[in-house]
Amino acid sequence: MARRLDPVELLATSSVGKAIARSSVGRSVATRMGVPPADELRRGITRPVGKIALTEMGESDLVGATLSLLDIDPVLPIIDTPSARMPGENGRSVPPVYESRLGALVIDLSGLRSFSGTELLRGVLRPAMKGLERSGRVIFVAREPESYTDLEPRILAQGLDGLNRTVAKELRGGATSNLIWVKESTTPQALASTLKFLLEGRSAYVDGQSWRVGEAEVPLEAVRSTHPYHGRIVAVTGAARGIGAAIAHTFARDGAIVVCIDMPTSGESLAKVANEIHGTALQLDITVADAGERIAAHVAGRYGEDARLYGIVHNAGITRDRMLANLDEKAWAAVIEVNLMAQLRINEALLDGRPGGLADGGSIVGISSTSGIAGNKGQANYALTKAAIVGLVRAQAPVLGERGITINAVGPGFIETDMTNAIPYLQRVVFSRSNSLSQGGKPVDVAETIAYLADPASAAVSGQVVRVCGQALVGQ
């Protein structure tokens, strides 16, 4: 059950209250009451403030070479060793600190094979825990556990997941920690889009997560492109508002021609979004039997018979929340239709090679949810469909990989939209702060993660579910 919030906490979590809590008087009251104001997160295409440090453990130069592809010249981090500690006022030694605060600490663990080697890891992490700039980054890159046949490196690679999640929980000031597992065959070009995303403000609300980068041929131009979707057509369902509208805007910023799809009843706001980004609007209830055919026909009709979709983002989703004891047939069916079955039918039609369908080498992104991953009281129907999306991307990634198509999903946590505005106030306050960043995410945070996953430079990322939840306390 949700714990009761005292009035100051309530004040500090509303938007007006947050403004008060950020003021000097408000901050001191809030701090005395134990309610820290949420940190302003660094967002957008922004590199970390401060230097980027790189530690390499082992012979691999994967991360160093990837950073140099991104024109980043890293510095060496300070390592905490007993001899490097300064005596503190009380005679106890204190860990070393960086001369200036770091923007990011990137740790290449692809050569780490034994637990005895983790002492160096501790030594590098310890000074970083208080030595990062606001919205700083810790990024671990390690070989995926399955790539080892020996027991110790294999379980060590898995253990890094717990370390990463703990670092994420201990960091302050909007800083995040994430872990990327790679294959032995992963190249710097295949890894570059992920490292770039994690360093930039685009990943502001992705925290404590781990996912995998595999292998793919990624041209250098794709890695370096500032408009990766230039000339590519991307369809977004549920684009009239909320997360969908943010996705449409983000793809357009990155050069895409966006087909904005939503219910005929949302026609006006849909047209507004499409006009703002010079895309086209398609009024369509995605649950109609021929929705996929109609999307393809729209693409071929507007952009020519030879035109193909580069990507589709299945964002449209609904909730019909009731405890199972009260959940009727209609609410059950509606959620399964919109959140899952429509998506399956659309994919099938778009993948059959028809004009206006999905091109080989393209990308599909779906939206799961922390509710699906962790389960949530009153959301049995919703959780069923959102966990099924995880199953969908995992099952389809190897099949679609044969056509060079990637399929991934994001798992948003608490994102401030009309959908979450419908949650009763007290619950909303508790949900929005129950994560390591102590705040709700913005639609743009989800949009940026989707744009990263669908990026042609992310061809080596498929079958992944990336949670965008500020490391929500619920779920994995």
Interface of this chain with ligand NAD, residues 166 to 185, rule: CB under 6 A:
none
Task: Give the CA angle between residues 296, 302, 307 to the nearest 5°.
Answer: 60
Evaluate whether 104 touches 52 at the Cβ level (below 8 Å): yes
- The verdict on 456 binding ligand NAD (CB under 6 A) reads no
Quick one: 85 or 320, whose CB is closer to ligand NAD?
320
Distance CA 176, CA 470 (A): 8
> Does the annotation count 310 as an active-site position?
no
Q: Does 244 bind ligand NAD (CB under 6 A)?
A: yes
Q: State in angstroms the smallest separation of the CB of 451 from ligand NAD.
A: 15
Q: Which residue has the tokens 């679609």?
A: 400
For the segment 312-351, give every residue that binds ligand NAD (CB under 6 A).
Answer: 315-318, 338
Residues 387-446 within binding reach of ligand NAD (CB under 6 A): 412, 414-415, 417-420
Q: Are 42 and 134 in contact (CB under 8 A)?
A: yes
The catalytically annotated residue of 148, 382, 425, 452 is 382
Burial zone of 374 (CB within 10 Å; 0-12 exposed, 13-18 middle, 19+ buried): middle
Residues 6+ positions from 92 with CB-CB distance below 8 Å: none
- Cβ of 390: how many Cβ atoms within 10 Å? 19
| Residue tagged 């507004």 (tokens) | 272
Stretch 189-228: interaction string toward ligand NAD, x if CB under 6 A: ----------------------------------------
Which CB atom, from 81 or from 265, has the smaller least distance to ligand NAD?
Answer: 265
Q: What is the DSSP letter of 441?
A: B
Among 263, 271, 297, 474, binds ligand NAD (CB under 6 A): 263
Closest approach, Cβ 208 to ligand NAD, in A, equals 17
Inter-residue contact 199 to 52 (CB < 8 Å): yes
Q: Does 104 bind ligand NAD (CB under 6 A)?
A: no
Q: Give the integer Cα–Cα distance in Å for 450 and 466.
A: 9
Helix (H) or strand (E) holding 399: helix 380-401
Binding mask 282-311 for ligand NAD (x = CB under 6 A): ---xxx------------------------
Q: Compute the distance between CA of residue 453 and CA of residue 304 in angstroms, rounded to an integer.
A: 27
Contact with ligand NAD (CB under 6 A): which of 242, 311, 356, 357? 242
Stretch that binds ligand NAD, among 17-25, 218-226, 262-270, 395-403 (CB under 6 A): 262-270
Does residue 262 bind ligand NAD (CB under 6 A)?
A: yes
408 phi, psi to nearest 5 deg? -140, 175
* Residue 252, φ and ψ in degrees, nearest 5: -65, -40
Binding piece for ligand NAD, criterion CB under 6 A, among 83-91, 100-108, 158-166, 259-267: 259-267
Pair of tokens at residue 439: 């705040």
Q: Which amino acid is residue 255, in one-letter code?
A: G
- Site for ligand NAD (CB under 6 A): how many residues? 27
Give the interface with ligand NAD as residue ranges (CB under 6 A). Answer: 237-238, 240-244, 262-263, 266, 285-287, 315-318, 338, 367, 369, 412, 414-415, 417-420
Catalytic residues: 382
